[in-house]
A = this chain, B = another copy of it.
Amino acid sequence: MYNAELLTIGTEILQGEILNTNARFLSEKLAEIGVGVKWHTTIGDNPERIRQAFQTALQRADIVVTTGGLGPTADDITKECVCQVLGLELVEDALQMRRIEDFFRTRGIPMGETNRKQALVPQGSTVLYNPNGTAPGCWIVCGEKRAALLPGPPREMCAMFMEQLKPLLQPFSSGVILSHYVRTFGLGESRMAELAESYLDLQNPTVAPYANDGESYLRVTALAASAREAEDLCKPVIAKLRELLGEYVYAIDQTLEETLFRLLKKHGLTVGIAESCTGGGIAAKLTEFAGASAVFGLGVVAYSNDAKQTLLGVRPKTLADHGAVSPHCAAEMAQGIRKLAGSDIGLSVTGIAGPTGDGTNKPVGLIYLSVADGVDTQTMRCETGRGDRQYNRTIAVKQALHLLLQVVLRREEKEESKQ
């Protein structure tokens, strides 16, 4: 497999003013055609460091792709530096010069002398046409190695890569790389990795563990000559991982909310949502999808106890005896919203998001969730052990979506067993 280094040139990135979205885009596209990006390097508009970084990259990588520094201003010096390293001349490209002159003529803008330097390209290089700007890119053959110089503005860079550079990279493609995600819930990353340990050393497909905000997942990535063959490599491994992780796996690829939305829709189930500490976050997640109205009609953010009583019918005695953050209150909220929304299922969350407590001895990060489906009401307790308000709200939303998902899955099983 050929490998590549991405060289990002631009002081604004080193100063943290903008994210390096170019490196992400190129990494993704190169992975898709089976070129392995092994290094990202970012330097500023400094000739010495640019030459140094380009030299290093050319030594260790088969393909070097630079972005930035092709503009008209004095600090755009990528071409100059690359030519110095490779011992090449910069020569004017007549076609590019005409393009630049036309660009300014058609816009009636006076063309600055500095723009002429944009028409200069390394001698013997293949000029890459810029559909969205004046700066041409170029493709340079350096013995066994290859170097591509692309402009910095993402709109120009992405278009030039897709239309001009990608075809030139085909000979270096080692096939198709394809990934699937085995998504789990309620399992720590390390525990998941232990259960799947025997698969983490596979070569093709590879299996790698990841985690974020209470969710853990395994990425299964295969390299093959065709997408079909890559799929065939992934399938058996995914099946085995499903077996190993059992109940913890809630979906392949699809996120928690996608999975839930799809299932609710499939079974024609509607849900009403009563939220306290999540403040509307659950309803917001479920309505991210077009056609959400098929599964969701009404949500209530009952932040005050008053709202919990008058709208959701939580009994004053419940609040007096157990407080708003209690399994009893959660259950009554779920039953209440189900009635109010006239939905098949009622989902509720009440908790202490923090950073400070609710004046009782209940810990910050304590969350109660409940689902009522008319037959029975299931309530769950969860404690994050953290004071981070945003984190606690995020976890509460995910726990709620997951609890609802479990209930819907059990209904599905029952129905199937009936048949």
Contacts and interface: CB of A to CB of B under 8 A. Distances in A.
Contacts of A388: 132, 155
A311 B21 CA distance: 43
A40 B17 contact: no
B298 A311 contact: yes
Contacts of A287: 277, 279-280, 301, 303
Contacts of A43: 38-39
Contacts of A31: 15-16
Interface in A40-96: 40-44, 46, 49, 53, 71-75
A200 B341 contact: no
A29 B11 contact: no
A26 B31 CA distance: 27
Contact of A341 (B13, B27, B106, B307): B307
Contact of A37 (B14, B115, B342): B14
Nearest to A384: B107
Nearest to A102: B385
A26 B81 CA distance: 28
A190 B40 contact: no
A38 B27 contact: no
A38 B44 contact: yes
For A25, A292, A304, A340, the residue with the greatest tally of chain B CB atoms inside 10 Å of its CB is A304
A36 B385 CA distance: 37
This chain: copies in complex: 2
A404 interface: no
Contact of A280 (B11, B16, B284, B384): B284
- For chain A, the bracket of interface size reads 35 or more
A190 B72 contact: yes
A279 to B, nearest CB: 3
A16 B112 CA distance: 37
A39 B71 CA distance: 21
Contact of A193 (B17, B74, B190): B74
A209 interface: yes
Contacts of A30: 16
Contacts of A39: 14, 41-43, 49, 53
A273 interface: yes
A282 interface: yes
A180 to B, nearest CB: 13
A110 to B, nearest CB: 6
Contacts of A302: 298
25 contacts: A12-B208, A12-B210, A14-B40, A16-B29, A16-B30, A16-B37, A17-B208, A20-B20, A73-B193, A107-B383, A112-B193, A132-B388, A275-B280, A279-B296, A280-B282, A280-B287, A283-B301, A284-B284, A287-B301, A290-B354, A290-B356, A298-B303, A298-B304, A299-B300, A307-B341
Interface of A: 8, 11-21, 23-31, 36-44, 46, 49, 53, 71-75, 103-104, 106-107, 109-115, 132, 153, 155, 187-191, 193-194, 200, 208-212, 219, 273, 275, 277-284, 286-288, 290, 292-293, 296-304, 306-307, 311, 340-342, 354-356, 383-386, 388-391, 393
Given A39-B53, A298-B307, 4 more contacts: A38-B44, A280-B281, A280-B282, A280-B287
